[in-house]
Structure 1
Amino acid sequence: MNFFPIMLDIEYKKVVIVGGGHVARQKLQALLPTKAQIIIVSPSITDEIAIYVGQGKVTWKNKQFEASDLDDASLIFAVTDQEEVNDAVEQAAQHWQLLSRADAKGRVDFINPAVVRRGDFVLSVSTSGASPGLTRKIKAELEAHYDETYIDYIEFLKKARREIIQTIQDKYSKRDALASLLDPQLEEWAKEQKWDKCNAYVQKLVTGARQI
């Protein structure tokens, strides 16, 4: 299959996970940062999922799957170890609902890439199922290179970009200033949490553009 890579805004949308095991837990953890309305349908769940239920981060329907469980769902995950249940989920899913079966049998509208998330900075890797091992390897390499310091760095870049766009009127000066935000020195200061130097750098860009 040739999948089309896309990022979806599913904030406050209903997402149903049918299954309560290890794979369901993985899907749940990947979904948590999206602020989706997550519902798990399963007569049993893992201890880790139970913690999220207790924290109010997910709704658990302690029951066998029924077609009505999919009402108004935008995304559906069929992740049980029972093929007949996954088949029932597929049969109940409407054509406009996006469905993913963990067993890769039947209808698979989408797959989940491996994700490295650093705030607004999101990197995804997929081999379309050809080599999960290679996907994990590359993800680990990305996690090591783009560590937690990138959360604050990306936030800084977002604010600096906004200031430059709002302040500098000349389009060429604006273009040059935005390009200057990728100066390796800025990235190094951000890793060292030297925000005073980062902010001074941006102010110099803005002030210099004003004087042109």
Structure 2
Amino acid sequence: MAYFPLMLDLRNRPVLLIGGGPETEAKLQALLEAQARVTVLAEEDRFGLAALAAQGRIRWLRRGYREGDLEGYCLVVSHPKDKGIHPQVREEAERRGVFLVAVDDPKHASAILPAVLRRGELLVALSTSGAAPALAVRLKERLARLLPEALGGLVAYLRTLRPRIARIPGFEARKALWYRIVDLALEELDLDPKEGLPRAIQRAEEILSEVEAWTR
């Protein structure tokens, strides 16, 4: 199956989590990190649901799925104890035009969650299109050893450069400058993954200041 890769901005958007399965807590945490407005359907408080609800971080309905529960949601993540409900959930999702992540049940899913490696704002998502999630997890672990934590700091710094570089006249000039700065920064991190970020920032500032002086 050919999937279209997409990053979603779920901030303050309504998401339904049908819980109960062993990965419910992990899926809930991921949705909270994305700042979604999460409603949880779960009969038992196995994941600190009562505390989260009391804090106003989630809305918890202490029951299982019922027909009509998907109304008003932009995304549904379903990981119940009994996946036997998924045909019904999928039928409703299709009828309402809502994407459904049916965890460990790709036959009934219209969307899948990849394995995600985070370095600040840098996200690396890996998926086997539902065929072998364990492989995606192991590949993520390998990438984690290759991509240093400092990349998160580099991304944050590069974000601050966008207004300055936008003032450089000419698309090709801006493009060449971006790649020059990024390539030199990565070179510094390759040489010293733990301590190379300050040097990478210093070199970037030197390059940008030089270009800015030319274009004044």
Please, what TM-score do these two structures have when normalized by structure 2? 0.82
Cα distance, 1:54–1:186 mapped onto 2, change above 3 Å: farther
**Conserved 8 A contact 1:12-1:36:** yes
- Unaligned segments of structure 2, at least 5 residues: none
Cα distance, 1:98–1:172 mapped onto 2, change above 3 Å: closer
Amino acid at match of 1:158: R
Residue in 2 aligned with 1:86?
Answer: 86
2:105 alignment partner, SS class: coil
Alignment map for 1:34-113 (pairs within 5 Å): 34-49=34-49, 52-53=52-53, 55-93=55-93, 94-104=95-105, 107-113=108-114
Q: Distance in 2 between matches of 1:49 and 1:147?
A: 34
Task: For residue 51 of structure 1, report the CA deviation from its aligned partner.
Answer: 5.3
1:202 and 2:204 are equivalent in the alignment? yes
Alignment map for 1:62-211 (pairs within 5 Å): 62-93=62-93, 94-104=95-105, 107-166=108-167, 168-182=168-182, 183=184, 184-187=186-189, 191-192=194-195, 195=198, 197-209=199-211, 210-211=213-214
Q: Distance in 2 between matches of 1:53 and 1:22?
A: 20
Residue in 1 aligned with 2:8?
Answer: 8
**Conserved 8 A contact 2:14-2:75:** yes
| Percent pairwise identity | 24
Amino acid at match of 1:142: L
2:9 alignment partner, SS class: coil
Q: Distance in 1 between matches of 2:91 and 2:129?
A: 24
Q: Distance in 2 between matches of 1:128 and 1:146?
A: 23
**Conserved 8 A contact 1:160-1:202:** no
Q: Distance in 2 between matches of 1:141 and 1:122?
A: 15
- Unaligned segments of structure 1, at least 5 residues: none
Please, what TM-score do these two structures have when normalized by structure 1? 0.84
Q: Distance in 2 between matches of 1:48 and 1:207?
A: 51
Number of residues of Structure 1 aligned to a counterpart in Structure 2: 210
